[in-house]
Amino acid sequence: MTDESVVGGADASEGAAGGAAGGRVCRVFLVDDHAVFRSGVRAELGGQRSIEVAGEAGSVAEAVAGIARVQPDVVLLDVHMPDGGGVAVLRSVLESAGSGDDAAHVPTFLALSVSDAAEDVIAVIRAGARGYVTKTISGDELADAVRRVAEGDAVFSPRLAGFVLDAFARAAPGPEERGEPVHDPEVDSLTPREKEVLRLLARGYTYKEIAEELFISVKTVETHASNVLRKTQQSNRHALTRWAQSRHLD
């Protein structure tokens, strides 16, 4: 991996400092069908503070099973693999998380790929990934990207963020843009406070950050988030974010 810049919602040095200040170890799971590359990433991240490589897999099936077992904070995900690739892993993990009665732990996904093609970036982001960086990234920058997505930031290698923005800009306008009244029973069922929590969740805020923003306890945030998930009939935070974005509530 070579040096490159990474763009996102926070300064890189601030993201690194935040990871150290929190004192919490970020557990990472590697998914790539090349064992040599996984070994290199493990070596790069192994020397980084506040990051632990908790597991790895070389196929979609191994990844889905390993993620369920290890329950990492962040999954580093290759986009192209012989048996389906990153999108298949994302869909399987998110569907499994939404199939139980209780809210399951859902990691944050960061794509790490040799591809910088627009269609690959857009596909994996639409599937639920929080960011996308290419394999030319340096070890230190990769560690910083991992910490930042774990905190709720969105991280992209240079130029790639533009693909995502362009894709959403080309999307068909919703009823609000067309000047039509919007009547959504699920949205109408939310209280004003629940809508506030929903908007902040969709923007990538952590529960702690929402609590600080709204001057309420983390426990109260968790209660509101649970109510929002129930009322909107969404299975997890990733699905809820897509639901909110589709209704322009973010």
Helix, strand or coil for residue 8? strand
- CATH number of the CATH domain containing 91: 3.40.50.2300
The whole-number pLDDT of residue 62 equals: 95
Indicate the helix (H) or strand (E) that contains 156. strand 155-156
Q: Is residue 148 part of a domain?
A: yes
Task: Give the separation between CA 52 and CA 15, rounded to whole angstroms.
Answer: 17
Query: Is residue 115 located within the same domain as residue 43?
Result: yes
- Model's pTM, two decimal places? 0.60
Query: Is residue 197 located within the same domain as residue 234?
Result: yes
Judge whether 53 and 46 are in contact, CB under 8 Å: yes
Query: In this model, does residue 103 exceed pLDDT 60?
Result: no
Query: Is residue 109 located within the same domain as residue 195?
Result: no
- Please say whether the dihedral angle defined by the alpha carbons of residues 129, 244, 98 and 209, taken in this order, is positive or negative: positive
Across residues 198-223, what is the average pLDDT? 88
- Give the count of domains, the chain: 2
Task: Give the separation between CA 203 and CA 224, rounded to whole angstroms.
Answer: 16
Query: Is residue 113 located within the same domain as residue 228?
Result: no
Across residues 142-151, what is the average pLDDT? 93
Query: Is residue 156 located within the same domain as residue 233?
Result: no
Query: Is residue 193 located within the same domain as residue 96?
Result: no
Of 168, 201, 218, the last residue of a domain is 168
Across residues 115-126, what is the average pLDDT? 86
Dihedral (Cα; 124, 127, 131, 136), 10-degree rounding: -20
Q: Is residue 41 part of a domain?
A: yes
Domain that holds residue 222: 185-246
- Per the listing, tokens 């990207």 go with 145
Across residues 153-170, what is the average pLDDT? 75
Query: Is residue 80 located within the same domain as residue 161?
Result: yes
Query: Is residue 37 located within the same domain as residue 150?
Result: yes
Q: Is residue 127 part of a domain?
A: yes
Amino acid at 241: T
Cβ partners under 8 Å of residue 14, min gap 6: none
Strand pairing category for 7-8 and 155-156: antiparallel
How distant is the alpha carbon of residue 114 from its chain centre? 19
